[in-house]
Amino acid sequence: MTLAGLILPVTGATLWTATQMVVGFVGALFVGARLLPGLERSGYPRPDGATKEYKLTGMTLFFVVHIAAFVLVFGFGVSLTPIVRHFWSLFAVANALAILISLALYATGPKKRGVLRDLWLGADLNPTWLGVDLKMFMYQPSLIGVNLVVVSFASAQRDLYGTLTPQMGCLLGFWWAYLFTHYVKEEFMLSTWDVIAEEFGMMLVWGDLVYVPFLYSLPCWWVVDQTVPFSLWQSVGLSLLCFASLSLFRQANWQKERFKRTPNATIWGKKPELVGGRLLASGWWGVGRKLNYTGEVGVYICFALTAGVGHPWPYLLPLSLIVLLAQRAARDDRRCFAKYGEAWTTYCARARFRMIPFLY
């Protein structure tokens, strides 16, 4: 039997099981976010000038879910394969939950720009339920959710073939490293545009509950049934590429975030160089203007490469990210020029390329 034979069709019974799984998972995370300890951090000033205080519980939840999964799997013999088996029912239920939460946000939020726009884009910057900031909270079912989906594909491979291939090991390791480095500096999220300026509506809710867990795990579908294992050199080579991309992605983001919070903090052991007093031209920001994007695309290419090069579908995500981020880089250049004027032109002469030296 292959993976396809393991996947259950959508029926009333599978939908009911999937509903219990999704509601149980998201509900447990919500209770955890409400009750467990977290880092107290101040957000960046919002468009209205106000600053919000956050309790960041992502790392706590990430580890609590690890411990719970470990105890269930190794202590009680629970299998994670049912997540993959119910994939399409979970997908349907996650969509339904995203719609329900969006409707509840609309019903309880302010009315600003008409039903459809308020529903899709949101009308409230920081909706809070029972003291939990929903925008920050929703990253947890999203990211911990995609991790569980990836692990369940690995569990399915072990059930089907009695082993884990090196490429499956790579995929698990890459995802874990990506998520761990996210949670280690969870406060970085407070500096992103989504958190500072985007209102919370169906677009973000759907992205968190459906797009990330179900689309980002796409390469798994082609890794499970690959019976020819990667050679040691393929595994080592790909791991080095992933490590380099992830380091570039995280370091660039962390350097800028640290600079914004503590402008005098050293970068690569030296005092930061500035252009026009406000633009960082040290570290990766002295090499290129959007190397954080390059690093992120590199990580997604590595996820896809674990599935080999025989199928186009695993590359859907890195390709869409290249298009999205290349456009975003150009838009951000224009935004920064409008904000910083001549200083931005001087900075562009210093860090000449956006994402790829000599090309873009």
Interacting residues toward ligand NDP by CB under 6 A: 192-193, 249, 253, 256, 279-280, 285, 290, 292-293, 296, 328, 332, 335-336, 339
- SS3 for the chain is CCHHHHCCCCCHHHHHHHHHHHHHHHHHHHHHHHHCCCEEEECCCCCCCCCCEEEECHHHHHHHHHHHHHHHHHHHCCCCHHHHHCHHHHHHHHHHHHHHHHHHHHHHCCCCCCHHHHHHHCCCCCCEECCEEHHHHCHHHHHHHHHHHHHHHHHHHHHHHCCCCHHHHHHHHHHHHHHHHHHHCHHHHHHCHHHHHCCCCHHHHHHHHHHHHHHCCCCHHHHCCCCCCCCHHHHHHHHHHHHHHHHHHHHHHHHHHHHHHCCCCCECCECCCEECCCEECCCHHHHCCCHHHHHHHHHHHHHHHCCCCCCCHHHHHHHHHHHHHHHHHHHHHHHHHHHHCHHHHHHHHHCCCCCCCCCC
Minimum CB–partner distance for residue 298 and ligand NDP (Å): 11
In the complex with ligand NDP, the residue whose CB is nearer, 246 or 279, is 279
For the CA atoms of 127, 132, 135, 140, the dihedral, rounded to the nearest 10 degrees, stands at -160
Minimum CB–partner distance for residue 308 and ligand NDP (Å): 23
In the complex with ligand NDP, the residue whose CB is nearer, 8 or 336, is 336
Minimum CB–partner distance for residue 250 and ligand NDP (Å): 8
In the complex with ligand NDP, the residue whose CB is nearer, 120 or 188, is 188
In the complex with ligand NDP, the residue whose CB is nearer, 86 or 289, is 289
Minimum CB–partner distance for residue 259 and ligand NDP (Å): 6
Minimum CB–partner distance for residue 293 and ligand NDP (Å): 5
Minimum CB–partner distance for residue 178 and ligand NDP (Å): 11
Minimum CB–partner distance for residue 280 and ligand NDP (Å): 4
Minimum CB–partner distance for residue 256 and ligand NDP (Å): 6
In the complex with ligand NDP, the residue whose CB is nearer, 30 or 200, is 200
In the complex with ligand NDP, the residue whose CB is nearer, 21 or 252, is 252
In the complex with ligand NDP, the residue whose CB is nearer, 84 or 275, is 275
Sorted by sequence, the CB contacts under 8 Å of residue 32 that are 6+ apart come out as 57, 60, 61, 64
In the complex with ligand NDP, the residue whose CB is nearer, 88 or 243, is 243
